[in-house]
A = this chain, B = another copy of it.
Amino acid sequence: MTMTQKTYSIGELAREFGITNRSIRFYEEKGFLTPERAGTKRIFSAADRVRLKLILRGKRLGLSLEDSVAIVDLYDPVSGNAAQRNELLKQLDARKLQLESQRKEIDLALAELEDVKRRVLSDKNQ
């Protein structure tokens, strides 16, 4: 039983994720996506779509495009041997530290924001 997977046009994906066609072309240009072609037109597989979705999630996290892709590649079960796995674990831990550091900075920024806000509000009452 041959199951033909669903495919997507550039416009479909752009609409689904609320981005422009240009962005998707840009991602391909950078090598972050590698859709098939039917003649000149891009054909995106379900895997392409998931990859794009993950990349965009990274962007929503405030990561750069490059960082997003790096993380997505990290999750991609391409690498197989023990050395690679250890390298992956190292990268996961590094990323964890990075995220924890970012979290602390956010907490600091939030505290300072509250401080500024309080001062602005107290000025108002004078």
Contacts and interface: CB of A to CB of B under 8 A. Distances in A.
Q: Which DSSP category, helix, strand, loop or mixed, fits chain A's interface?
A: helix
A15 interface: no
Given A85-B123, A124-B85, A71 B106 contact: no
What class of interface size applies to chain A in its complex with B? 20 to 34
Nearest to A98: B62
21 contacts: A57-B112, A61-B102, A62-B102, A62-B109, A80-B123, A82-B124, A85-B124, A89-B120, A92-B113, A92-B116, A92-B120, A96-B113, A96-B114, A96-B117, A99-B110, A99-B113, A102-B102, A102-B106, A103-B103, A103-B107, A106-B106
